[in-house]
Amino acid sequence: MTIKQQLEEYVLATRPWSFTAAIVPIIITAAVCKKSLFSIEFIRAMCMGITIQAGANLTNTYFDFINGVDSKINGEKTLVERKVSCTEVLVLSLICYLSGLFCILPYLITSKNLSLPVIFMVGVALAYFYTANPIGLKYKALGDVTIFLCFGPLLMQCTSILLVGSTTDDLYLYSIPVGLLTEEILHVNNARDIKADSLSGAITLATIVGPDISYLIFLALLIGSYLSIIIIGLIYHWGCLAALFTIPLALSLDKHYREGKMVDLPAETAQLHLPFGIILALGIALTESGLIALIQ
């Protein structure tokens, strides 16, 4: 394998298709806080979010492999197919975590807001112990709530402190559609892997409730994401209603789920997550009132 090919395998091992889970909340936070996407604070926050997620993805790959969750049939193939060694995955994950820390280290040192180190460390700990032994939150049916917290309130409030020096209460509302759709990416992944996870002893929400209820949860997460957008659009930012134009993508996901085309469904859900989130951010940034106030 050439150096170029090896580097490509390293990049693919971080699952770059999933980075929308970090990118979207950070962009939405910038919109709510009215901060430029070209500011050094935003760039640092974005680099922090992506590198920490990359580290978490690599940690997930390593522990899923050594715990027997991934196989040639299901799950991540990086270690199963020996594209990258276990040692290389661990080293890459450490580099990513340290890079994330380095991105915001000046703020951790100088910030007078003690919430920043607390939120950052809690977020990193949850990201690492999502699959890392001996805790393995994912294997104890706590993965769903972990993902919602990490890519919703925790990441958004950490970004808010980096951008404006304090947490922003409004972000809890905007974390709902973002968090639900990010959780959807995880849920379809776990629904796809119900059989493999059950055989390996991993306990996820999907393995507990089974295929039929998992489909209903899939629908509830999708519907909840769009209902929260409607509420935000009616009361706060009418431009956010434009996110409803992504409904055809959501219907396509539902069609693939019902047809059992689950292999690529997590990546396809991420492809919905990005335009959904970008439109939401634009709606927040470009409109100052809800539709109800506009028509009165």
pLDDT tens by residue, 64-99: 888 877 665 666 666 656 778 888 989 999 999 999
Query: How does DSSP classify residue 67?
Result: T
Q: Rounded to whole angstroms, what are the CA distances from 211 to 9, 188, 270?
A: 33, 11, 21
Helix/strand/coil for 34: coil
Q: Kindly report the pTM of this predicted structure.
A: 0.92
Q: How far is Cα 87 from Cα 223, in angstroms, rounded to an integer?
A: 41
Q: How far is Cα 42 from Cα 17, in angstroms, rounded to an integer?
A: 21
| Contact present, 284 and 245 (Cβ < 8 Å) | no
Q: How far is Cα 270 from Cα 17, in angstroms, rounded to an integer?
A: 7
- What does R_g of the chain's alpha carbons equal in angstroms? 19
Q: How confident is the model at residue 296 (pLDDT cuts 50, 70, 90)?
A: confident
| Contact present, 156 and 119 (Cβ < 8 Å) | no
Q: Which domains occur in the chain, in start order?
A: 3-290 (1.10.600)
- For 94-141, write each residue's pLDDT tens digit: 999 999 999 999 999 888 888 999 999 999 999 999 989 889 898 888
Q: Annotate 100-152 with DSSP letters as a single string.
A: HHHHHHHHHHH---THHHHHHHHHHHHHHTTT-TTT-GGGBT-HHHHHHHIII
**Has residue 266 got a pLDDT over 60?**
yes
Q: How far is Cα 247 from Cα 63, in angstroms, rounded to an integer?
A: 35
Two tokens, residue 98: 């340290």
Q: Given this model, what pLDDT does residue 122 score?
A: 96
